[in-house]
Chains A and B, each alone.
Chain A
Amino acid sequence: MSEAQQWTGTERRWRAVAALLSVLLLAALVWGALERTERVRAERMYTAQFQRALFELIAQVEQTELLMAKSLVSGSDPRRVMYLTDVWRQSFGAQASLNQLPLGAGALMRTSQLLTQAGDYAYMLARKTARGDAVSEDDWRTLGELQRQVRVIAEQLHGVPGDPAPRAMSRGGLHRPARGRLDDGPGAFRDGFQRLELQLAEFPTLIYDGPFSDHVLQREPKGLAGPDIDADEARRVAREFLPYDLSEDDLTAPGEVEGPVPAFRVRAMRRAGLIDVDVSKKGGHVVWMLDARPVGETNLSLDEAVQKARQFLAQRGLAAMEPTWASAAGHRAVIPFAAVEEGVVIYPDLVKVTVALDNGDIVGYEAMGYLMSHHDRTIPRPALSEEEARARVSPLLSVGRGRLALIPLETLEEVLTWEFPADLDGDPYIIYINAATGDEERILKLLQTEEGTLVI
């Protein structure tokens, strides 16, 4: 009796365990199914986003090509300007759609560049035509060449799997741990774009009057005068440049830069922190300096910081420079200085100085702008007087005293302008009037940001 009871007791216990296990299994299955539904739903949502981008891309590329063709054959200038501005709009849209595809940052560079340049080129032609300037045979030939390239994109896009491979697109593309800036995109879909990139690699350099022209993208420094130096010389330059009492042992030259401005990287050890200084191999110019020390609470005013920065530059033989504005954030002030020659502010020749607002130390310096553009210039005489130029400024503005300024255009061309500070209902502007033609070259609106921009 007692033995049978015991046996039933064990059986009962086993049954309970089995029942519990089946309930758990069922729960796990239900949970798994729900999770899977959620996952599939999320995947479809992502895929839909990418499909939308792809469909929009195809439509926009086709539109771009069509509008380019129409602007080539159009016989009426106003129509043509309309087509050309539409090319600009469609191609920029296409570039944006292209960059939403899950192919990684490196996989689409040529295609992206071609779309940007096609739009930029069309914009330049639209501007020329609207101004009534002559558009040359060469310009139209280049536009025709660009149109053929855009057609290559359109044709290749049609070759991309018609149903843009949702499986390949979602799983591999999204859930593989993406290796940063690499091009680990999904298979067949990606191959189509890879072929496209290769096909477009043949296109020659494109030089024209716009910001994405190859001559702007690949410019060379003009301001690197002097003989080549070695690493020891670079350490000496850095030691003299830094405003601290450093022994030779405090400085090392741990690396080199192979960029547009080849340089030695010099590192100075201070108790307060490391300072990095890049010294150009040609001429031994300081390209930039960054002091990594933490900065304490603000004790200096912005005016005092500007004085410190001015002093720093003057001691390094850069006295003929004027501060252009100043801003303070994170207990540091950044003050750009522009060169001044014969009373003209040379904005392309710019250096920037960072002042720590706790004790006035110079914790940053940047001279890339200066080194890229400084050269011996003959500054033209202004054809317009200050009064004549002032008359060109919008009558809505109350205008302050003007001064002459050389400013860089998007094409790196430099123009002499009259610079006027102006004001509309308390909103500050700076207006630039071309001193030769009287054209309004540029309007800057000064923004009071959270970073506390102050204009000098």
Chain B
Amino acid sequence: MLRRILSAWKLVTAMGIALLLLHGARPEHASSQMWFGWGGVRGDELELLARLVAAEAEGEPYAGQVAVAAVVLNRVDSPQFPNSISGVAYQPLAFESVSNGLIWRRQPSAQAYNAARDALNGWDPSYGSLFFWNPSKPVSPWIWTRTIVVRIGSHVFGR
């Protein structure tokens, strides 16, 4: 037993640097976010999220704006999408407003910032959705293969 502990210890000290690096690089995951919110989000990430909300959910009910921000964060949390807010926002062809530049033309309102903050604090009116789309606009038929969770305003949210 002692030998096992000692060899484990030697291994840990030998690997110390690698493991330290790992811990530094590894993002604190869902549980701590669930638990303390995304308190540590940077100001520029908050702004990016608010800009996406303003460009993608202008004129939508407030819950719909929070839900759009929540979809971005659900993607960050999902192994199926990039691991950061900027990674998700700038994933090629992921958001129309990034492709057409609307995201930079529109200054987010105070409400868009609050919607981004509420999503960061854990409000998720989309219940873990990874997609949203506007069924009155032309969309790829593929999107309807997703499981629909809820409809808010003119958007459909699904996983």
Contacts and interface: CB of A to CB of B under 8 A. Distances in A.
B7 A453 contact: no
Interface string A321-336: 0001101011010101
A216 B43 CA distance: 29
A230 interface: no
B83 A96 contact: yes
A410 interface: yes
Interface of B: 4-5, 7-8, 11-12, 14-15, 18-19, 22, 26, 29-32, 34-37, 39-43, 46, 56, 61-63, 66, 75, 78-83, 87, 91-96, 99-100, 110-111, 113-114, 117-118, 121-129, 131-133, 137-140, 142-143, 147-152
Given A132-B5, A211-B29, A255-B150, 7 more contacts: A103-B93, A110-B80, A116-B79, A178-B96, A211-B30, A259-B127, A444-B32
B92 A265 contact: no
B158 to A, nearest CB: 9
Interface in A247-265: 255-261, 265
Residue picked from A105, A108, A369, most chain B C-beta under 10 Å: A105
Interface in A231-272: 255-261, 265
Interface stretch (A146-154, A300-308, A312-320, A345-353): A345-353
Main secondary structure of the interface of A (DSSP, over half): mixed
B105 to A, nearest CB: 15
Interface stretch (A64-72, A179-187, A421-429): A179-187
A181 B117 CA distance: 22
B37 A336 contact: yes
Main secondary structure of the interface of B (DSSP, over half): mixed
Nearest to B26: A123
Given A131-B8, A449-B39, A449-B43, A265 B150 contact: yes
A99 B81 contact: yes
Given A132-B11, A290-B66, A120 B79 contact: yes
Interface residues of A, number: 89
13 contacts: A81-B15, A100-B92, A104-B92, A105-B131, A106-B142, A116-B80, A180-B94, A183-B93, A217-B78, A290-B66, A330-B113, A449-B41, A451-B39
A290 B118 contact: yes
Given A104-B93, A183-B142, A259-B150, A178 B99 contact: yes
Contacts of A177: 96, 99-100
A211 B5 CA distance: 27
Given A96-B82, A184-B93, A290-B63, A179 B110 contact: no
A449 B129 CA distance: 28
